[in-house]
């Protein structure tokens, strides 16, 4: 089962994820790190917090950071399907990717998630629509995700992001990862790359996540 995305956490449960990325954007080598937390405020409300920073060894003028805080509300809780909505604030271009918005803004999300058995394998999938509003720097994003337990405690997860807005916001990314769901934590390694051809970007990452 998935531990974040459109799902909500159990009442009084914590979810934490840390990741580091080595990326290359238009020939510039950079290093990105982020910390992400969720807290189950109740059975239907989850609070999230994310901090992110990126630095470029040969182009420090492009260094950036950012944060985001949101509240997610469970709207429908079915046996396998969940529907949620999320609202919050964000600031800093690192949160928005290559051409993110620097000023303080608002974010709204709506998502549908499914988890269960498919072809005798534990599987999950989700779709989210996202709007970010910064006053003259708006973004619209579609996020898709799919994961399957291919071996015992070993999952393959694929995600796709498509972002639009101003002329410099066009971006389409695919991320693939291999995740080991160990007793102590979820450990992931993966590869992310830009497929939209508007610019060149790729990166490899390591991540660790845990529900408390």
Q: Is the pLDDT of residue 206 over 80?
A: yes
CA atoms lying within 13 Å on the CB side of residue 23: 28
What's the predicted TM-score (pTM) here? 0.92
Considering the domain delimited by 14-211, tell me its CATH architecture.
Answer: Beta Barrel (2.40)
Whole-angstrom distance, CA of residue 26 vs CA of residue 147? 30
Our CA angle for 176, 106, 52, nearest 5°, is 45
Q: What are the sequence ranges of the domains in the chain? A: 14-211
Q: Is the pLDDT of residue 3 over 60?
A: no
In the prediction, which pLDDT does 97 show?
A: 62
Whole-angstrom distance, CA of residue 207 vs CA of residue 156? 14
Query: Three-class SS string for 35-65?
Result: EEEEEECCCCEEEEEEEEEEEECCCHHHCEE
Q: Is the pLDDT of residue 179 over 80?
A: yes
In the prediction, which pLDDT does 1 show?
A: 46
């Amino acid at each position: 089962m998935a531990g974040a995305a459109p799902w909500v956490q159990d009442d009084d449960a914590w979810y934490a994820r840390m990741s580091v990325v080595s990326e290359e954007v238009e020939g510039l080598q950079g290093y990105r790190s982020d910390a992400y937390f969720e807290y189950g405020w109740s059975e239907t409300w989850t609070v999230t917090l994310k901090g992110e920073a990126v630095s470029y060894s040969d182009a420090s003028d492009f260094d950036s950071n950012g944060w985001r805080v949101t509240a997610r509300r469970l709207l429908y809780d079915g046996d396998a399907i969940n529907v949620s909505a999320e609202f919050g604030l964000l600031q800093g271009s690192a949160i928005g990717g290559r051409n993110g918005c620097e000023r303080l803004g608002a974010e709204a999300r709506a998502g549908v998630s499914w988890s269960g058995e498919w072809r005798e394998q534990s599987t999950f999938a989700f779709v989210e629509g996202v709007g970010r509003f910064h006053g003259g720097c708006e973004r619209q994003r579609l996020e898709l995700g799919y994961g399957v337990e291919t071996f015992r405690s070993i999952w393959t997860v694929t995600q796709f992001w498509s972002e639009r807005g101003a002329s410099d916001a066009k971006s389409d990314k695919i991320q693939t990862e291999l995740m080991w769901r160990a007793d102590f934590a979820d450990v992931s390694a993966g590869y992310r790359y830009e497929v939209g051809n508007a610019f060149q970007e790729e990166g490899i990452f390591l991540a660790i996540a845990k529900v408390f």
